[in-house]
Chain A
Amino acid sequence: MTAVDPSTTPQDAGGDILAVAREQVLERGEGLSQEQVLAVLQLPTERLEEALGLAHEVRMRHCGPEVEVEGIVSLKTGGCPEDCHFCSQSGLFDSPVRAAWLDVDRLVEAAKQTAKTGATEFCIVAAVRGPDAKLMEQVRAGIAAIRAEVDINVACSLGMLTQEQVDELAAMGVHRYNHNLETARSHFPEVVTTHSWEERWETLQMVRAAGMEVCCGGIVGMGETLEQRAEFAVQLAELEPDEVPLNFLIPNPGTPFAHLEVPQGADALMTVAAFRLALPRTVLRFAGGRELTLGDLGAEQGMLGGVNAIIVGNYLTNLGRPAEQDLDMLETLKMPIKALNDTL
């Protein structure tokens, strides 16, 4: 998807969309509506810099200069019974990713490596529909071992939960729970058929009610229209998550989305700006796919365009940039890393 010709750009009824956003989002702190987000997404590429500049001002005004740094690790890789069409870990596709479990020692080591970067968050992820007794046991042992040795907030991403599991994770001290809605509700059936968007939404509500922070984002570039991208931004805003991780599709071999193109850099950056303008106070995190979609320069533009959090190092099955490279970038941009126990 590319930005359209300026002459065909629909203007918001209230005037130029960035002027409206300046008043509404920057000054009053009110996120954009679906139509307004769409108007931003439809801006011509020539206005990208302006959109990113405004998104950066919004982030600085409503979130501050700190950047939240996180590391993630896959506790259980591959063999998932679900069919999320982007995912190389589904056992239903002919993907080269094979099932693997991480032992507690390596999990603790990964948490230590993450903490060394200055990160305040460490997220334990499993490729499952939802946790079974074996996984819950492994998570319990892993969290206890991490807490004994590493000073870092522990987050989890273990799929859909029962109320009992939500309560158990909260009791273990899990600080934040990630469960991505992935895409707009109207596009979800094109992406996943083995469970519904609503089931995901339900888990998120239980997580919030149990007092854990809610982390919920998705993937840009899965064949959604710009309208659906705008729909997704406001659906996330409605959820009021503490954090939104933004991923850009990595077309993985063997998956139904293997044939899709890597999202274009300008398109991805306009999406970053639009999401910040829809979610003025949320932690907006650069997650997977930025290396292919944006490269080094684009990552900097995103950090100056509304993003205020990053995943450093590798992802679950993909590699990221070396953590030092991102930390150097933050230093160059004069963006301090959020300290443990600070809230953004």
Chain B
Amino acid sequence: MEPSADPVERPFCAWCGAARAEGDHTACERRLATVDPPRHCPVCARRMVVQVDPVGWTARCSRHGESAGTHGFRR
């Protein structure tokens, strides 16, 4: 599942798990763009099982399946 910018399909912040429509997520985005893989499912906010390896990451939501990326996560 590729990260998407759609706030309706993906209403939650993948870093902090809160609603993207509420609050300021600038710091969350900076972390996702530099040092953190997504930790929360952007569709349902569940905490995901994340595995980081030298070249990428995979993140699995028990409800919405697996996503994967290389460096940096952009919603």
Q: Which of A73, A291, A292 contacts B53 (CB 8 A)?
A: A73
Q: Which of A72, A96, A99, A113 contacts B39 (CB 8 A)?
A: A96
- Which residues on the B side are within 8 Å of A253 (C-beta)? 16
Rounded to whole angstroms, the CA-CA distance of A72 and B54 in the bound complex is 7
Rounded to whole angstroms, the CA-CA distance of A203 and B51 in the bound complex is 28
- Which residues on the A side are within 8 Å of B72 (C-beta)? 319
Per-residue CB contact flags for chain B residues 28-64 toward chain A (1 = under 8 Å, else 0) read 0000001111011000000111111111110000000
Q: How many A-B residue pairs have CB under 8 A?
A: 76
Rounded to whole angstroms, the CA-CA distance of A99 and B50 in the bound complex is 8
CB distance from B17 to the nearest CB of A (A): 7
How many chain B residues have a CB neighbour from A under 8 Å? 22
Rounded to whole angstroms, the CA-CA distance of A102 and B50 in the bound complex is 11
Q: Which of A106, A313, A317, A323 contacts B50 (CB 8 A)?
A: A317
Is B35 in contact with A291, judged by CB distance below 8 angstroms?
A: yes
Interface members, chain A 299-332 (any B CB < 8 Å) = 312-323
Rounded to whole angstroms, the CA-CA distance of A96 and B55 in the bound complex is 21
Is B54 in contact with A323, judged by CB distance below 8 angstroms?
A: yes
Task: Contacts A96-B39, A96-B40, A291-B35 given; indicate if A319 touches B55 (C-beta within 8 A).
Answer: no
A97 interfacial by beta-carbon distance below 8 Å: yes
- Which residues on the B side are within 8 Å of A106 (C-beta)? 51, 53
A255 interfacial by beta-carbon distance below 8 Å: no
- Which residues on the B side are within 8 Å of A100 (C-beta)? 49-51
Is A71 in contact with B51, judged by CB distance below 8 angstroms?
A: no
Is B34 in contact with A313, judged by CB distance below 8 angstroms?
A: no
Rounded to whole angstroms, the CA-CA distance of A34 and B48 in the bound complex is 45
- Which residues on the B side are within 8 Å of A102 (C-beta)? 51, 53
The B contact surface, by secondary structure, is: loop
Rounded to whole angstroms, the CA-CA distance of A284 and B49 in the bound complex is 33
Task: Contacts A97-B50, A98-B47, A253-B16 given; indicate if A318 touches B36 (C-beta within 8 A).
Answer: yes
Rounded to whole angstroms, the CA-CA distance of A315 and B17 in the bound complex is 22
- Which residues on the A side are within 8 Å of B49 (C-beta)? 98-100
A110 interfacial by beta-carbon distance below 8 Å: yes
CB distance from A112 to the nearest CB of B (A): 10
Is B53 in contact with A314, judged by CB distance below 8 angstroms?
A: yes
B25 interfacial by beta-carbon distance below 8 Å: no
Rounded to whole angstroms, the CA-CA distance of A114 and B51 in the bound complex is 16
Is B55 in contact with A113, judged by CB distance below 8 angstroms?
A: yes
Rounded to whole angstroms, the CA-CA distance of A312 and B50 in the bound complex is 20
Is B71 in contact with A109, judged by CB distance below 8 angstroms?
A: no
A77 interfacial by beta-carbon distance below 8 Å: yes
Show the binding face of B for A, using Cβ within 8 Å.
16-17, 34-37, 39-40, 47-57, 70-72
Task: Show 30 residue pairs from A and B whose CB-CB distance is below 8 angstroms, ordered by the A residue.
Answer: A71-B54, A73-B53, A77-B51, A96-B39, A96-B40, A98-B49, A98-B50, A100-B49, A100-B50, A106-B51, A106-B53, A109-B53, A110-B53, A113-B53, A113-B54, A289-B35, A291-B34, A312-B54, A313-B54, A313-B55, A314-B54, A314-B71, A315-B52, A317-B37, A317-B50, A318-B52, A319-B36, A320-B35, A321-B71, A322-B71
Which A-B residue pairs are the 10 nearest by beta carbons?
Answer: A313-B54, A96-B39, A71-B54, A110-B53, A318-B35, A98-B49, A113-B55, A322-B71, A314-B52, A113-B54
